[in-house]
Amino acid sequence: MKDKKTIIHNSVNNEAVTVKGHRLSDIVEFNEKGVKALLEGKVIGNSIVFFDSVVSTNDEAKNMGFDGAREGSVVVALKQTGGRGSKGRSWLSCDGEGIFCSVITRPKIAFSDVPVITLIAGLSVCRALRKVTKTDALIKWPNDIVINGKKICGILSESYTAGEGMDFVVTGIGINCDNEKFEGELETIATSVMIETGEKINKAYLLAEVLNEFEKDYFAFIKYGFEAMYDEYKALSAVIGKNVRINGAESYYAEAVDIKKSGELVVKADGKERTVYANEVSLRF
């Protein structure tokens, strides 16, 4: 007879499976135990710390990283009072409405390759969202996941050094889950699992799936480089072939034509190809 853990493990995408007459979504809670029961890998999620409220899970993870936290340690919060987005923006982090988590990794890569970790995490989240929510999630280079053109997830990778070279990377992932609507300027640009599917997702399933996918993608990247997932990444791109506005030191309209194997975006403006670096621009379409 299968034990309870095996049944849960096999059922991430099968809500019909029951344990002792209970639907799995009712028994797998969004806490450390619930998420851990669904993990398949050995490293990512080996330690998961849940908080009711923090300023930012990226800040908690940074402190844990400097205190020597192991590769794969994960920080999750039900609420952030100062959730941070890229380019100094804030990240809406209302109580219980989303997944706010940060993963610590210790890759032996150059600082210049850190932006690729953001791309890899984006691919992992995109795949997990497609699988669990059955939506057509796509990756908006470099750090957004979008559904029907609206942002459902943002990723913020930050790297730290304790001396020479890079010590660790914190990859912060924010996924809008239960938000019924967005207000103000977010109304036209943000979406959530609830808005897209009309259903309240089990956040333990979704987070476990994100961490399971990240375990595969991260170690494939460490072993083989971004090439290992390059074709899939491009196939899931929301920007290739689109007209985009590049906002950086210079602002201009261009056609996004490719993503390099080193992770940069290639655009065409005024007949000329230009390389766009993730940390230098924001992109609108």
Residue 172 CB, shortest distance to ligand BTN, in Å, is 3
Strands of the sheet containing 98-105, edge to edge, are 48-51, 74-77, 98-105, 168-176, 150-160, 144-147, 138-140
Q: Considering beta carbons, is residue 80 or 191 the nearer one to ligand BTN? A: 80
- Name the DSSP letter for residue 53: -
Q: Which is nearer to ligand BTN, 84 or 150 (CB)?
A: 84
Q: How far apart, in whole angstroms, are the C-alpha atoms of residue 215 and residue 253?
A: 36
Neighbouring residues of 242: CB distance < 8 A, sequence distance ≥ 6: 255, 256, 285
Least distance CB 240 / ligand BTN (angstroms): 20
Nearer to ligand BTN, 102 or 237 (CB): 102
Sites of contact with ligand BTN (CB under 6 A): 56-58, 80, 83-86, 89, 91, 100-102, 143-144, 154-156, 172-174
Nearest to ligand BTN by Cβ — which residue? 154
Give least dist CB 145 to ligand BTN, A. 9
The CA distance from 135 to 35, in Å, is: 22
Q: Output 8 or 74, the one with its CB closest to ligand BTN.
A: 74
* C-beta closer to ligand BTN: residue 147 or 155: 155
Nearest distance in Å: CB 276, ligand BTN: 17
Report the nearest approach of ligand BTN to the CB of residue 273 (Å): 26
Phi, psi of 280 (to 5 degrees): -105, -15
The C-alpha angle 4, 17, 196, rounded to 5 degrees, equals 120
Helix axes 203-224, 114-133, angle to 10 degrees: 140
